[in-house]
């Protein structure tokens, strides 16, 4: 090894150590994960939970490996990799919906953003096979594209499925585009039906979540707050309903997960990314005001710099009787937590 190479390696080591030291440490009282997935090759970013139709204990977690030669990976409930998609060009976020009609059959799907191709990609579940004929371009005609966040809305009245897509940057008022998904022959298709979304300009909009039953979209305007809109494009209503979570975050407000205790109640969990905690708000809002979201608790977790998260209330078996919370962590993994761990902290932290 040459003297020059030794110097380069030393400088890289110093840089890595400096960056590592900037990360917030996991708190001593942080929740310990029930399970941790096998590590992915590059960079985990966002997970989504698919519920098996007949045996919930066979449900899987689908997560993104964010790199130029990344992809979607499926994990079992022990964290073992059980499937992988074709190679994708920097997949960012992912979400799941049930019963998209394609080629005369109802198909459960995972939809991910493919940043380097400016597309969304659609895969059947649980096999992670592409059904999009190579991908569907998004934000066409725009100079700012680079898709990042995605969340799926299934309209209760007719079961139509819509993808809400965010990007690295965009104009306030039309930052988010909403696409109606459908089938054409053997492939899934998408057409834009709505453009909306206020943007502060501070950083970016990546984390998006949809509450199907209540009909709301939530998204994180990073370093500014969490915004709420109606989900159904047929309502033709692009007015912002609420803005909350403007205080208490160390830097970025990131991944959003919605836990449903009943048809109308539960919790909205938002990653306080640089603090390694999750902020918890009431899904139903405050008493008498469904658009007011007081902080109920802040839960320290063992996830480091969490980008994305998902949660379910479904009984997935003895380990996850009241549901599963999954969150991305630095180290190229996803952490699983039995819901009971979080519920206990919420009960302790309620004000």
State how far the Cα of 241 lies from the Cα of 254, in Å rounded to an integer: 19
Structural domain includes residue 10 = no
Contact criterion met (CB below 8 Å) for 63 and 75: yes
- By residue range, what is the domain housing residue 122? 34-349
Omega before 240 cis (within 30°)?
no
Neighbouring CB atoms inside 10 A of 114's CB total: 22
Give pTM, 2 decimals. 0.93
Distance between alpha carbon 123 and the CA centroid of its chain, in Å?
16
Structural domain includes residue 264 = yes
* DSSP 8-state class, residue 263: S
Contact criterion met (CB below 8 Å) for 271 and 301: no
State how far the Cα of 167 lies from the Cα of 149, in Å rounded to an integer: 6
What pLDDT was estimated at residue 351?
46
Structural domain includes residue 244 = yes
Structural domain includes residue 3 = no
Residues with Cβ within 8 Å of residue 93, at least 6 apart in sequence: 45, 46, 64, 112, 113, 148, 149, 150, 151, 206, 207, 208, 308
Residues with Cβ within 8 Å of residue 62, at least 6 apart in sequence: 47, 48, 49, 50, 72, 73, 74, 75, 94, 96, 110, 125, 128
Neighbouring CB atoms inside 10 A of 20's CB total: 10
Q: Which of 281, 244, 245, 248 shows the shortest CA–CA distance to 265?
A: 281
Structural domain includes residue 5 = no
CATH number at residue 270: 2.120.10.30
The one-digit pLDDT tens for each residue of the chain (351 residues) are: 444 443 433 333 434 444 445 788 999 999 999 999 999 999 999 999 999 999 999 999 999 999 999 999 999 999 999 999 999 999 999 999 999 999 999 999 999 999 999 999 999 999 999 999 999 999 999 999 999 999 999 999 999 999 999 999 999 999 999 999 999 999 999 999 999 999 999 999 999 999 999 999 999 999 999 999 999 999 999 999 999 999 999 999 999 999 999 999 999 999 999 999 999 999 999 988 999 999 999 999 999 999 999 999 999 999 999 999 999 999 999 999 999 999 999 999 764
Q: Which of 155, 174, 149, 156 shows the shortest CA–CA distance to 271?
A: 149
What pLDDT was estimated at residue 1?
44
* DSSP 8-state class, residue 53: S
Q: Could you tell me the strand order of the sheet in which 35-36 lies?
A: 35-36, 333-338, 324-329, 309-312
Contact criterion met (CB below 8 Å) for 50 and 62: yes
Contact criterion met (CB below 8 Å) for 281 and 245: yes
What pLDDT was estimated at residue 22?
72
Contact criterion met (CB below 8 Å) for 118 and 104: no
Contact criterion met (CB below 8 Å) for 205 and 199: yes
Structural domain includes residue 52 = yes
Distance between alpha carbon 199 and the CA centroid of its chain, in Å?
19
Q: How many domains does the chain have?
A: 1
């Amino acid at each position: 090894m040459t003297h020059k190479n030794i110097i380069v390696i030393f400088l890289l080591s110093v840089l890595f150590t400096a960056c590592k030291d900037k990360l917030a440490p996991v708190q001593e009282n942080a929740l310990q994960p029930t399970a941790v997935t096998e590590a992915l090759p590059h960079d985990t970013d966002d997970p989504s939970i698919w519920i098996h139709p007949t045996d919930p204990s066979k449900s899987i977690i689908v997560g993104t490996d964010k790199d130029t030669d990344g992809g979607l990976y499926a994990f079992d409930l022990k964290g073992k990799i059980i499937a992988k998609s074709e190679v994708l060009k920097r997949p960012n976020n992912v979400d799941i919906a049930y019963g998209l009609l394609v080629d005369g059959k109802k198909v459960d799907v995972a939809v991910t953003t493919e940043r380097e191709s400016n597309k969304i990609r659609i895969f059947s579940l649980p096999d992670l096979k592409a059904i999009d004929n190579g991908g569907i371009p998004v934000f066409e005609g725009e100079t700012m594209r680079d898709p990042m966040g995605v969340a799926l809305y299934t309209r209760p009245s007719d079961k139509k499925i819509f993808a809400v897509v965010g990007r690295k940057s965009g104009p306030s008022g039309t930052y988010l585009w909403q696409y109606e998904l459908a089938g054409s022959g053997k492939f899934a298709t998408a057409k834009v039906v709505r453009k909306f979304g206020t943007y502060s300009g501070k950083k970016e909009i990546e984390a998006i979540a949809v509450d199907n039953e209540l009909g709301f979209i939530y998204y994180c305007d990073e370093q500014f707050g969490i915004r709420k809109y109606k989900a159904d494009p047929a309502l033709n209503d692009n007015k912002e309903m609420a803005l909350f979570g403007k205080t208490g975050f160390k830097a970025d407000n990131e991944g959003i997960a919605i836990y449903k205790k009943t048809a109308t109640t539960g919790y909205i969990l938002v990653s306080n990314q640089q603090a390694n905690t999750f902020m918890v708000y009431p899904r139903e809002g405050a008493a008498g005001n469904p658009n007011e979201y007081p902080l109920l608790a802040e839960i320290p977790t063992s996830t480091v710099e969490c980008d994305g998260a998902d949660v379910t209330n479904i009984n997935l078996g003895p380990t996850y009787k009241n549901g599963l919370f999954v969150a991305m962590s630095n180290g190229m993994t996803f952490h699983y937590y039995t819901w009971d761990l979080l519920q206990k902290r919420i009960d302790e932290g309620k004000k």
